[in-house]
Amino acid sequence: MSSTATSAARAGETVWDRVGIPRPLLFGFIGVLIFMIGDGVESGFIAPFIEGNGAGSEVRASYVITAYGVTVMLASWLSGALSELWGPRRVMQLGLAIWIVFDILFLAFGAAQDNYALMLLFYGLRGFGYPLFAFSFLVWVTATAPVARLGAAVGWFYFAFTGGLPTLGSLTASVTNPLFGKFGTLWVALALIAIGGAFCLLGVRERTGYSRLAPPGVKPVQSLARSLSIAWTHPKVAVGCVVRVINTAPQFGLWVILPAFFTDEMGFSDGDWLRLLSIMFATNIFFNLLFGLVSDRIGWRTTIGWFGAVGCAVSVLALYFVPKLMTDNYWVAVGVGMVYGATLAGFVPISALMPSLAPENKGGAMALLNLGAGGAAFVGPAIVSLFLGPLGRDGVVLIFAGLYVVAAVLTLFLRLPRASEEAIAQGKSLHEAAVPVAARATT
């Protein structure tokens, strides 16, 4: 692109363009934030709530959480694959409906009746809801934003996503639990889900997300196959999926072991723990945005490898072992929690990098990316289930640190193809970048 054309393009930019938010999607970012606040309300207490309302033991409660993790993983993959077929907006509608319906059934017939079997069924099925809603919007973002500012755009998505889950969600619970109890708080969460869904589905008019993203000739079975076959046709995408699993698997595992660690072993109150969690991820949402912006300048791969993977390998150890060494100091624990939240945000550019590795099949790449995100919700707690008994909390945390080291090594292999590099230079979106790739494939 010539300097004259570049200057003209910049002159036509709005303030939203400059900060990396696609203006037509603004209400979607707001809606995702509110939706994820509703989803995140339960993050600090759902396991003991299930245990006390029919599960009867920590182990039986963990089965419910594991079932939820499995459906989250499956739905995360489907959000990308189905967005290719139906368009992101339609998949978001499906996710919203699933969340609302099965949450009502979980609360009214499972938890309220102390019915363990129905809690296992309905809470598990509710797991399809938030990935279909939130990650389909992420597909919408990656299809719309210019590649040169895609890091910033996905940074804003994760600013909204983690702003709700668990940051403002946990903070909301710390206020509503004393007022309404945990059961009442879960009904408050349902109302927030409905409000967030309305913001997204009524407020966003950008047309790309209203229609299918796959080429006209691609059939449903073919589209689903493309979202899996990309793992071996584009091995770098498969590597990126593993990195995405490692990104948040320790986070989900820590949510299992840290509540008891900080309340029982460190002597903090439930309110102290919820506030620590909120502060940790308040830091995370700020750095989600910061690293999204920075990564567009210094490189997505560099940001992920050094600030994300290496940073988390160090900070996850500090989060657990520093409070053990400096007991009875709440603010030290808060400080190391903030460092972990900050380094966790270093992985944000993976959502820009993955579809850019395969612009001609960005839906398949996003499907694997989202599979990795959902898989983390299963892998993290599964590691805890397998190793907490024989290795204790110390051993589990060392495993998490080791996983981050593995992610740092894998990131070295994630180099962009020529088409994506050209799109960045020319200020194009991935949707536009895919056209010449598809043309070359047919010649």
45-50 average pLDDT score: 87
210-237 average pLDDT score: 82
Question: Is the preceding peptide bond at 22 cis, omega within 30 degrees of 0?
Answer: no
How many angstroms separate the CA atoms of 391 and 157, rounded? 36
Q: What is the pLDDT of residues 1-38, one digit of tens each?
A: 334 434 444 555 677 777 888 889 999 999 999 999 99
Q: What is the pLDDT of residues 356-388, one digit of tens each?
A: 898 877 778 888 998 998 889 889 988 988 898
How many angstroms separate the CA atoms of 30 and 26, rounded? 7
How many angstroms separate the CA atoms of 134 and 111, rounded? 26
Give the model's pLDDT for residue 439: 45
327-334 average pLDDT score: 91
pLDDT band at 240 (very low <50, low <70, confident <90, very high): very high
329-335 average pLDDT score: 95
pLDDT of residue 404 exceeding 80, the answer is yes
Give the model's pLDDT for residue 430: 61
118-141 average pLDDT score: 95
237-249 average pLDDT score: 96
Give the model's pLDDT for residue 431: 57
HSE at residue 419, side-chain half, CA atoms within 13 A, is 21
Q: For residue 334, what are the CA distances in angstroms to 94, 106, 285, 370? A: 38, 34, 16, 30
pLDDT band at 354 (very low <50, low <70, confident <90, very high): very high
- Angle of helix 169-203 relative to helix 129-144, nearest 10 degrees? 60
Q: What angle do CA 36, 162, 253 make, to 5 degrees?
A: 100
Handedness of CA 57, 62, 65, 71 (dihedral sign): negative
300-313 average pLDDT score: 97
pLDDT band at 428 (very low <50, low <70, confident <90, very high): low
φ, ψ of residue 429 to 5 degrees: the values are -90, 170
316-338 average pLDDT score: 94
pLDDT of residue 443 exceeding 80, the answer is no
Share the mean pLDDT of the chain: 88
Percent of the chain exceeding pLDDT 70 equals 93
pLDDT of residue 82 exceeding 70, the answer is yes
